[in-house]
Chains A and B, each alone.
Chain A
Amino acid sequence: MSIIQVENLSKSFKSYKKAPGLIGSFKSFFKRKYYEKKAVNNISFNIEEGELIGFIGPNGAGKTTTLKCLSGLIYPTSGKVSVLGYNPFERKSDFLKQISLVMGQKNQLWWDLPPMETFLLNKEIYGVNNKDFEDNLEELAELMEVKDVLNVQVRKLSLGQRMKCELISQMIHKPKVLFLDEPTIGLDVVMQQRLRKFIRTYNQRYHATIILTSHYMEDVEALCKRVIIIDYGKKIYDGELTTIAQKFSQHKIITIVFNKQIVRKDIENLGVVKFFDFPKAAILVKREEANKILSQILNEFPVADINIQEQDIQKIIREIFTSGII
Chain B
Amino acid sequence: MQQYINIYRRLLKINFAELLAYRANFISHLISSCCWTLFQIIWINLLTYKNQSIFGWKKEDLIILTISYVILSGFHHCFLSKNFRELAKIIDYGQLDSYLVKPVDEQFLLSLTKVEYSQLARFLLGTVALIVTLSKFQIYPSLIQILSYIFLMGFGLVTIYSIWLLLSSLMIWYPQINNLVGFLFDLTGVSRYPKEMILKTNNYAIFFFLPITLIAAAPSRYLFNKAITGDTFLLVLECGVLFIISRLFWKFSLRFYTSAS
Bound pair (A, B) = yes
The CA of A124 and the CA of B98, in the complex, are separated in Å by 16
> What band does the interface of chain B fall in when counting residues whose beta carbon is under 8 Å from A?
20 to 34
How would residues 1 to 21 of chain B score, 1 for a CB under 8 Å from any chain A CB and 0 otherwise?
001001100110010011001
- Asked if A126 and B103 sit within 8 Å, CB to CB, the answer is yes
* B138 lies within 8 A of chain A by Cβ: no
Majority secondary structure, B binding face: helix
Q: Given A13-B261, A73-B97, A121-B11, answer yes or no on A93-B17 (Cβ-Cβ < 8 Å).
A: no
The CA of A121 and the CA of B112, in the complex, are separated in Å by 13
- Asked if B98 and A108 sit within 8 Å, CB to CB, the answer is yes
* B102 lies within 8 A of chain A by Cβ: yes
- Asked if A96 and B101 sit within 8 Å, CB to CB, the answer is yes
The CA of A3 and the CA of B79, in the complex, are separated in Å by 41
Checking B11, B17, B101, B260 against A13 with a beta-carbon cut-off of 8 angstroms, the contacting residue is: B260
- Asked if A93 and B97 sit within 8 Å, CB to CB, the answer is no
Residues in A with CB closer than 8 Å to B104 are 93, 125
Return the chain B residue nearest A126 by Cβ.
B103
Chain B nearest Cβ from A305, distance in angstroms: 53
Which residues of chain B in 1-53 are interfacial with respect to chain A, using CB atoms and an 8 Å cutoff? 3, 6-7, 10-11, 14, 17-18, 21-22
Residues in A with CB closer than 8 Å to B14 are 110, 113, 117-118, 120-121
* A228 lies within 8 A of chain B by Cβ: no
* B244 lies within 8 A of chain A by Cβ: no
Residues in A with CB closer than 8 Å to B109 are 125
What is the number of residues of chain A that contact chain B, defined by CB distance less than 8 Å?
35
- Asked if B102 and A71 sit within 8 Å, CB to CB, the answer is no
* A72 lies within 8 A of chain B by Cβ: yes
- Asked if B18 and A71 sit within 8 Å, CB to CB, the answer is no
Residues in A with CB closer than 8 Å to B97 are 68, 73, 101, 103, 106
Q: Given A120-B10, A125-B7, answer yes or no on A14-B101 (Cβ-Cβ < 8 Å).
A: no
- Asked if A96 and B10 sit within 8 Å, CB to CB, the answer is no
* A237 lies within 8 A of chain B by Cβ: no
- Asked if B18 and A106 sit within 8 Å, CB to CB, the answer is no
* A97 lies within 8 A of chain B by Cβ: yes
Residues in A with CB closer than 8 Å to B255 are 75
Which residues of chain B in 224-250 are interfacial with respect to chain A, using CB atoms and an 8 Å cutoff? none
Chain A nearest Cβ from B26, distance in angstroms: 11
Q: Given A112-B21, A112-B22, A113-B17, answer yes or no on A121-B261 (Cβ-Cβ < 8 Å).
A: no
Which residues of chain B in 91-130 are interfacial with respect to chain A, using CB atoms and an 8 Å cutoff? 95, 97-98, 100-104, 109
Looking at A73, A101, A121, A125, which has the most chain B CB atoms within 10 Å of its CB?
A125
The CA of A236 and the CA of B22, in the complex, are separated in Å by 52
The CA of A91 and the CA of B11, in the complex, are separated in Å by 23
Chain A nearest Cβ from B114, distance in angstroms: 10
* A326 lies within 8 A of chain B by Cβ: no
Residues in A with CB closer than 8 Å to B17 are 113, 117
Return the chain A residue nearest B114 by Cβ.
A110
The CA of A110 and the CA of B113, in the complex, are separated in Å by 11
The CA of A107 and the CA of B97, in the complex, are separated in Å by 12
Return the chain A residue nearest B94 by Cβ.
A106
* A74 lies within 8 A of chain B by Cβ: yes
Looking at B6, B95, B103, which has the most chain A CB atoms within 10 Å of its CB?
B103
How would residues 36 to 77 of chain A score, 1 for a CB under 8 Å from any chain B CB and 0 otherwise?
000000000000000000000000000001001001111100
Chain B nearest Cβ from A321, distance in angstroms: 24
Q: Given A74-B261, A89-B258, A101-B101, answer yes or no on A106-B95 (Cβ-Cβ < 8 Å).
A: yes
Chain B nearest Cβ from A71, distance in angstroms: 6
* A153 lies within 8 A of chain B by Cβ: yes
Residues in A with CB closer than 8 Å to B261 are 13, 65, 68, 73-74
Residues in A with CB closer than 8 Å to B11 are 121
Residues in B with CB closer than 8 Å to A106 are 95, 97-98
Q: Given A73-B261, A110-B14, A117-B17, answer yes or no on A124-B101 (Cβ-Cβ < 8 Å).
A: no
Chain A nearest Cβ from B129, distance in angstroms: 33
Q: Given A74-B259, A113-B17, A113-B18, answer yes or no on A124-B100 (Cβ-Cβ < 8 Å).
A: no
The CA of A213 and the CA of B59, in the complex, are separated in Å by 66
Residues in A with CB closer than 8 Å to B260 are 13-14
* A85 lies within 8 A of chain B by Cβ: no
- Asked if B21 and A125 sit within 8 Å, CB to CB, the answer is no
* A127 lies within 8 A of chain B by Cβ: yes
Chain A nearest Cβ from B45, distance in angstroms: 39
Residues in B with CB closer than 8 Å to A124 are 3, 6-7, 10
Residues in A with CB closer than 8 Å to B98 are 101, 103, 106, 108
The CA of A101 and the CA of B21, in the complex, are separated in Å by 30
Which residues of chain A in 92-124 are interfacial with respect to chain B, using CB atoms and an 8 Å cutoff? 93-97, 99-101, 103, 106-108, 110, 112-113, 117-118, 120-121, 124
12 further interface pairs, Cβ-Cβ under 8 Å (given A72-B100, A73-B100, A101-B97): A93-B103, A99-B101, A101-B98, A101-B101, A106-B98, A112-B18, A113-B18, A113-B21, A117-B14, A121-B7, A121-B10, A127-B3
| Residues of chain B having any CB pair with chain A under 8 Å | 3, 6-7, 10-11, 14, 17-18, 21-22, 95, 97-98, 100-104, 109, 255, 258-261
15 contacts across the A-B interface (CB closer than 8 A)? A72-B101, A73-B258, A73-B261, A75-B258, A75-B259, A96-B102, A110-B18, A112-B18, A113-B17, A121-B7, A121-B14, A124-B10, A125-B104, A126-B103, A127-B103
